[in-house]
A and B are shown apart, each in its own frame.
Chain A
């Protein structure tokens, strides 16, 4: 939004007419917000930036540990801590990754993760954006009650549904299939998606939709040519959230996926031993499973910062 300050000439007589009431608010404020404002302003200055970098690095320690562990041989990992690699870079090897890629079970589980995550994300983004448009901009009876219902579903914890849905799947060939996992994710992802997008779409100025209607747009055209481009940032963030959530999910897959359809998270989890002997498989597998979400995030990250709405009205 462009922050233009407009001259407030005509406001004066109105103020005069209610002198007594308007006054007290004008005095405070200025010194009050300065503490927080100063802190915000200082995030730009040197000291704070150094501090932020340090915190960020500290936050990355486990990830770096995972990366270095995955690049060391099992023997080295058993003999010393991952940080020794900093002084002895000769330990580095890609053998773990080579082994991993030679392992057909692991490759299959990676494929399963993709097969679960991509459809779940796509279905949710498509259905949620269509539904959100209807909830935000179409008039139909019971719309607000229905939306309240959707909001209500947000509070249902996933664990509550595991048993009932298992027995629901039980009578069908769904049980253990990839589709079963996808459907579960879609069902539990939709309320949040609809909620998020509906609120974003509702904030699009009504005039824009009405202009499109006057210009001859049917609802689907308006959705495709006005709402989707303007809702881009929200849709992208929903896509990222959903992708990360499904990609990293262990619980749902553990319950509903069979051996053949298990995703990476389940495969890695089954490698866990009480005495951590499989560190080579786990570290490299976990790191691989982290790389994809990171790529997705960086690919869509610009949508978070882009202010697409500027210049729409006024």
Chain B
């Protein structure tokens, strides 16, 4: 067990494309760090560089107190769980788990002990003599885990280990991975594109976009204080609604204009985020989380924080209703939101569109129906603001800036 430190890690391929740029990450001993981002963002490349399967083009990688840039994978003393599990098909479960120990020439008895202990932990004891092909997906995944934990490595590296499992099993294995990691206290780097996995598993979550680290922070911090539009739009499901608005002074507070409608921004929010004053009288990018909206007809609503529209679609999910409607304010179009749209599989966002599609999460008590007028109450104390040009989050102090470029040596 050791800390893993990436400083200025970069990967440039011979054809000049660079997959990872200047990645700085300090992963503490025993920490569970999740690398998350859309496909092609370089998260797997970063992990493979830590593993030693990919050459490091620039920067320094330290595991424990050794610089391991030039150390081959087999001598780095880290274990990896592959997305495909990569079990040796010609070996029994027992030999699959023992493989790494056999290559390290451990005494037979010690191998047997450790394999059986790992199998016990993972509930594989009765499958030890079967071949991988005779196992279910979940069992194969466990074997892959077993192969990693039996080696008692300095760090675990996991490359989307749950993506081949069906939804139910994924939830179960997620909890199991979390439990095992906490029991063993092994430093873990975990790559996923699934933000639910990222949020539930990580002590800290690092969000990558196109090879560049956007923000690294504990999950709740990431949700509450996204450093920029990209992180804001990536974390949360359904995603945060991002609209172009205009902020004007209004007594002690402010007025947020969204395509002809106005929301009152409480003075408390301006006091908490003094930098917002710089944007008074200017255009601004606004983020509203679906969960910060509700049906205004349910409780006596106060006038200042209600948007009126007509529902396009109401999806009843049981514990909540997802209400789709349009707001006559253009969507935010920056590099970040384009990248988010690409990840969601949508066509390019249209900057000229006069309307934005908005999704709200209503309480199941709401009577909202598709195609009917709707009044949406917005929790204006929880609005998110971003610079429309740079896409950076507008928070209290430059604190968010330090977060963004991870300098924690704490």
Complex partner residue of A314 from B75, B85, B104, B134, CB under 8 angstroms: B85
The B interface, classified by DSSP as helix, strand, loop or mixed, is loop
Q: With A213-B74, A214-B74 given, is the CB distance from A205 to B84 under 8 Å?
A: yes
Is A309 among interface residues, defined by CB-CB distance under 8 A? yes
Contact among B72, B103, B134, B346 for A215, CB-based, below 8 A: B103
Distance of A216 Cα from B75 Cα, bound (Å):
7
Q: B72 contacts which chain A residues (CB < 8 A)?
A: 213
Known: A17-B346, A311-B135. A216 touches B90 (CB 8 A): no
Q: With an 8 A cutoff between CB atoms, is A14 at the interface?
A: yes
Cβ–Cβ contact A207 & B89, under 8 A: no
- With the chains together, A221 CA to B137 CA distance in Å? 28
- Specify which of A218, A226, A313 lies most central, judged by the most chain B CB atoms within 10 Å of its CB: A313
A146 within 8 A of B: no
User: Quick check: A207 and B104 within 8 Å, CB to CB?
Assistant: no
- CB pair A211 B345 closer than 8 Å: no
Choose among B52, B82, B89 the residue that contacts A308 (Cβ–Cβ < 8 A): B89
- Residue of A with least CB distance to B100: A215
The answer, yes or no, to whether A312 is at the interface (CB within 8 Å) is: yes
B189 within 8 A of partner (CB): no
Known A221-B103, A313-B85; judge A214-B73 contact (CB<8 A). Answer: yes
- Which residues in B have their C-beta under 8 angstroms from that of A17? 345-347
- Is there a chain A Cβ closer than 8 Å to B79's Cβ? yes
Q: Does the CB pair A226–B88 fall under 8 Å?
A: yes
Instruction: Judge if B377 is at the interface, Cβ distance under 8 Å.
Output: no
Q: If the complex has contacts A230-B89, A313-B85, are A214 and B131 also in contact, measured as CB distance less than 8 A?
A: no
With contact pairs A213-B74, A216-B100 given, residues A311 and B347 touching in the complex (Cβ less than 8 Å):
no
Any A CB within 8 A of the CB of B63: no
> Which chain B positions have C-beta within 8 A of A208?
86, 88
Q: How far is the CA of A311 from the CA of B82 in the complex (A)?
A: 14
A212 to B103 alpha-carbon distance, docked (Å):
9
Q: Specify which chain B residues have a CB less than 8 angstroms from the CB of A211 in the assembled complex.
A: 80, 82, 86-88, 147
Nearest chain B CB to A263 CB, angstrom units: 37
Count residues of chain B with CB under 8 A from any CB of chain A. Answer: 37
**What are the interface flags for B130-143 relative to A under an 8 Å C-beta threshold, 1 for contact and 0 otherwise?**
01111101001000
- When each residue 41-67 of chain B gets 1 if its CB lies under 8 Å from chain A and 0 otherwise, what string results? 000000000011100000000000000
Residues of B within 8 A of A14 (CB): 345
| C-alpha spacing A308/B131, complex, angstroms | 11
Assess whether B78 is interfacial by the CB under 8 Å rule: yes
Q: Is A259 an interface residue (CB 8 A)?
A: no
Identify the interface centre among A2, A14, A216, A309: most chain B CB within 10 Å of its CB: A216
Complex contact A205–B86 (CB within 8 A)? yes
A213-B72, A311-B131 provided; 18 other pairs, C-beta below 8 A?
A13-B345, A207-B83, A207-B85, A211-B86, A211-B147, A213-B73, A214-B73, A214-B79, A215-B74, A215-B147, A216-B75, A225-B103, A311-B89, A311-B132, A311-B134, A312-B86, A313-B84, A314-B85
Q: Give B contacts to A, CB under 8 Å.
A: 51-53, 72-75, 78-80, 82-90, 99-100, 103-104, 131-135, 137, 140, 147, 151, 164, 166, 345-347
